[in-house]
Amino acid sequence: MISRRIIRTKVLQILYAHVSSPEKTITQSESELHFSIRKTYDLYHLLFAILGEISDFASDRIESRKMKNLPTADDLNPNLRFINNRLINRLRSDKSLNDYLKSNKLNWSHYPDLIRGIYATMTESELYKEYISSPVDDFQNDRQFCENFFGNILVNSDLMLNELEEQSIYWNDDLDFTISMVIKTIKKFKGADDQNAYLMSLYKDEEDQQFTTKLFRKAIINNVENRKIIENYTKNWDVDRVAIMDILIMQLALTELIEFPSIPVKVTLNEYIELAKYYSTNKSSTFINGVLDRITKDFREEGKIVKAGRGLLEA
């Protein structure tokens, strides 16, 4: 589930925390890195669970309205399309989802205001109104609404974003990515009776897990050497005045260029330039691109960057 881009982002965040706290050991920071990644995986499961919570809230509201002294015709004959959503009910019975939520004590039971607020936003949306009034009533339509809920309603919810920031510092930048993984998973479900396991594993494969650990460790171990390289290529700059985040991004890029022969140079450069756009100053991406481009050119000529594998000789 965790993509290489998210891995790089998490490594950068924990590397920044590590250099900002000299008392931390590599082992302590590495544990924090893996904990941070695991928290993203927690959020992935929690997002699936929120659909059931909102459905339960909607069901309780329907029952409450039926008990009014003077219930209207709509109160007595409510539209049940949402609470009967086939995908939501399929997720309720998903063993791997329920086992993970239970074993990690993850739920939304202590956040009634959040559930109420998201429900209100959802029911006021045109997507919801079109869904419950649609003449098409099948699993595909239910699944499409769930995709729309995550991709158009939840992802834009300030309530959700604020709550996640309150719950965990590790979720501050995770919502967009995790929602994209949830939607990708939802698309795999074929029907209400489909009992196949579709939830993603934490890492795509063992190679990605090894990439995480090696990138982080090597960046710290080679910190002094990589900083000297950067200083040599920024002689017209006072390196102590260069943003610390720019330095760390370039150090990670250097680590990946040198230590991972199977990753194309172009991929590495593009990924860290994108990180610079998000995590550093407005001019950082151009500055970092220029420095890394010169380093890459010289290091390839000197044989310090060697790419191995099919299609990588000129990458």
Q: CA geometry: angle at 90 spanning 87 and 92, to 5°?
A: 115
pLDDT at 238: 61
Of 10, 63, 56, nearest to 34 (Cα)?
Answer: 10
Taking only the tens place, the pLDDT of each residue in 113-146 is 999 999 999 999 999 999 999 999 999 999 999 9
Decide if 261 is inside a domain.
Answer: yes
pLDDT at 16: 95
As a whole number, mean pLDDT of residues 33-40 equals 97
pLDDT at 283: 84
Decide if 83 is inside a domain.
Answer: yes
Decide if 199 is inside a domain.
Answer: no
Do 182 and 227 reside in the same domain of the chain?
Answer: no
Structure tokens at 157: 């919810």
Decide if 114 is inside a domain.
Answer: yes
Decide if 196 is inside a domain.
Answer: no
CATH of the domain at 290: 1.10.940.10
Taking only the tens place, the pLDDT of each residue in 160-171 is 999 999 999 999
Decide if 266 is inside a domain.
Answer: yes
Last residue of a domain, one of 136, 166, 186: 186
118 close to 160: Cβ distance less than 8 angstroms: yes
Do 146 and 243 reside in the same domain of the chain?
Answer: no
Do 153 and 277 reside in the same domain of the chain?
Answer: no
C-alpha–C-alpha distance, residues 265 and 210, integer Å: 19
Say whether pLDDT at 264 is over 90. yes
Residue 280: which domain range?
222-301
Last residue of a domain, one of 159, 186, 213: 186
Last residue of a domain, one of 135, 158, 186: 186
Do 16 and 152 reside in the same domain of the chain?
Answer: yes
C-alpha–C-alpha distance, residues 201 and 203, integer Å: 6
- Give the CA count within 13 Å in the CB-facing half-sphere of 261: 9
**Predicted confidence band of residue 241 (pLDDT cuts 50, 70, 90):** low
Decide if 211 is inside a domain.
Answer: no
Q: How far is CA 181 from CA 3, 174, 252, 277, in A?
A: 10, 11, 25, 23
pLDDT at 282: 78
Decide if 52 is inside a domain.
Answer: yes
Question: Quick check: helix, strand or coil at residue 275?
Answer: helix
C-alpha–C-alpha distance, residues 190 and 296, integer Å: 47
C-alpha–C-alpha distance, residues 280 and 242, integer Å: 11
Question: Quick check: helix, strand or coil at residue 59?
Answer: helix
- The number of domains in the chain is 2
pTM of the predicted structure, to 2 decimals = 0.91
